[in-house]
Amino acid sequence: MQKKILIIGASGQIGTELTIKLRALYGNDNVIATDIREGSKALMLSGPFEILNATKKEAIKALLLKHQIKDVYLLAAMLSATAEKMPQKAWDLNMNSLLHVLNLAKEGLISKIFWPSSIAVFGPNSPKKDTPQYTIMEPTTVYGISKLAGERWCEYYHHKFGVDVRSLRYPGIISWKTNPGGGTTDYAVEIYHKAITNGTYTCFLKENTRLPMMFMEDAVAATVQIMSTTKSSIRIRSSYNLSAIDFTPQEIALEIKKHLPNFTIKYAPDFRQEIADSWPQTIDDSHAKKDWHWKHNFDLQNMTIEMLKNLKLKYHSTPEMQNL
Ligand code: AKB
C-alpha cells in the first residue's frame, strides 16, 4: 500500500507545486495538504486539504494519526524580508514547527521528514563564490539564524535518535504558478509579472547583485530525488548545498528584453539590499552531485521562455484560469 504523506505549508510557493507533483507520483488521496490558509484551486481541488497551524504540536499529531501518515514535508516558514520585520514571530514559527515534527518522529509517529534550509544560512564572512558545503556561516538575518539552528537540530536528531530527516539549502526559487512571499529573491519572480503587465519594473536590489537561483521544476525535482534516495546515500544530515543558476537583476532584465524588447527596469534598492549582500553569489553543490546525483535542467534562457509563456497565458486567460 502506498504510504501517506503530509505537507505542512502546502499553500505557499514551493508547497503548492510540490504537493501537486507528489499527488501525481503517489496518488491524490495519499498526499494530505495542510496550511494555515487555503491555497490555489489546483491545490484545493486535486486532493485532501486540512487547515493546520504548524506551531501546534497536538494539531499536527492529530492529523498524523487521523490519516496514518508516514512522511512529512514541513514547508511552513517566514522568509528573510518578512522575518526582519517580525523577528520573534519568525523564530517561533520557523523553530517550533521544526522541533514539533522532529519530536513526533522521535516518538515514532513519522518515518521520514523533509525540511528546507536556505542559502540564508551563510553570512557576510562566508566565501561569496562557489560557497562550499562546510565553511564559515555566521548568518546576519533572523531567517538565516533560524535556518542554521534548524540544520543543527536536524543533524542532532538524526545522530541522537536516528530520525530520518533530509534537507536542501534552496537558493531563490522562480515559479509562475504561485507567488513567493516575503523573500529577498522575490524580485526575480516579480520582474516577469511586471514585464508582462506593465512593461517596466522597479527592482528593490541593485543592478549588479548576483544571487543563486533555481527554476521551480528543478527545486521540486531535487526535493523528490532526495526524499526517494536510499537512506545510506544521504551522508549530510544538516542540509545539502543545492545549485542551479545565478544572475543579477541586470542580466535577467536583458534576458527578458530578448523576448519583450520594450521592457525597461529601474533600481530603487531598499532594506533587502543588505540581506542580499550578506548571501553567496554562487554555490558549490558537489556533495549533492556525488551523494545522490543531483543535476539541474533549467538555465536563465529556458527558464525565461517558460516564465513568459506561462505568465502570458495566465494573464490573458479567464479569471478561473488565473487562479490555477
Ligand atoms: C528568501 O529570499 O528569503 C528565500 C530564500 C533564499 O531562502 N527565497
Residues 6+ apart with CB under 8 A from 85: none
Are residues 97 and 140 part of one domain? yes
pLDDT of residue 317: 77
Are residues 77 and 11 part of one domain? yes
**Calpha distance 184→212 (Å, rounded):** 12
Residues 6+ apart with CB under 8 A from 131: 119, 122, 241, 280, 282, 283, 284
**Calpha distance 147→80 (Å, rounded):** 10
Q: Which three cell numbers stand for residue 52?
A: 493546520
H helices present in 27-125, as ranges:
41-45, 57-67, 80-85, 87-91, 97-106
Counting ligand 1 atoms within 8 A of each CB, the residue from 14, 118, 119, 281 with the most, and so the one to mutate, is 118
Are residues 184 and 149 part of one domain? no
CATH number of the CATH domain containing 184: 3.90.25
Domain containing 179 equals 173-213+245-279+299-323
pLDDT of residue 5: 98
Q: Which of 143, 157, 170, 187 is catalytic?
A: 143
pLDDT of residue 2: 81
Residue 288 falls inside a structural domain: no
Q: DSSP secondary-structure letter at 28? A: G
CA angle 246, 247, 251 (to 5 degrees): 155
Ligand 1 site residues (CB inside 6 A) read 79-80, 118-120, 143, 170, 172, 183-185
Among 241, 259, 290, the domain boundary falls at 241
Residue 222 falls inside a structural domain: yes
73 is catalytic: no
Q: Which three cell numbers stand for residue 287?
A: 556533495
**Calpha distance 153→143 (Å, rounded):** 15
Among 225, 241, 257, the domain boundary falls at 241
Are residues 105 and 33 part of one domain? yes
Which residue's alpha carbon is at the smallest distance from atom 1 of ligand 1?
Answer: 183
pLDDT of residue 322: 55
- Residues of the chain where predicted confidence (pLDDT) is lower than 50: 324
Q: DSSP secondary-structure letter at 233? A: G
Are residues 231 and 87 part of one domain? yes
Which residue's alpha carbon is at the smallest distance from atom 8 of ligand 1?
Answer: 172
Looking at the CA of residue 170, tell me the nearest atom of ligand 1: 7
Residue 68 CA to ligand 1 center (angstroms) comes to 32
What is the number of domains present in the chain?
Answer: 2
Looking at the CA of residue 180, tell me the nearest atom of ligand 1: 8
Are residues 163 and 106 part of one domain? yes
pLDDT of residue 1: 76
Are residues 179 and 65 part of one domain? no
pLDDT of residue 319: 61
**Calpha distance 77→216 (Å, rounded):** 17
CA-based nearest residue to 14, from 189, 140, 238: 189
Q: How far apart are the first and last CA of the chain?
A: 30
Residue 170 CA to ligand 1 center (angstroms) comes to 8
Are residues 222 and 154 part of one domain? yes
Q: Which three cell numbers stand for residue 229?
A: 534516495
Residues 6+ apart with CB under 8 A from 316: none
Residue 290 CA to ligand 1 center (angstroms) comes to 25
Counting ligand 1 atoms within 8 A of each CB, the residue from 13, 14, 78, 79 with the most, and so the one to mutate, is 79
Q: What b/e string do you get for 264-293 counting C-beta neighbours within 10 Å, with b at 16 or more?
A: ebebebeebbebbbbbbbbbbbebbeebbe
Distance, C-alpha 39 to centroid of its chain: 16
Residue 53 CA to ligand 1 center (angstroms) comes to 22
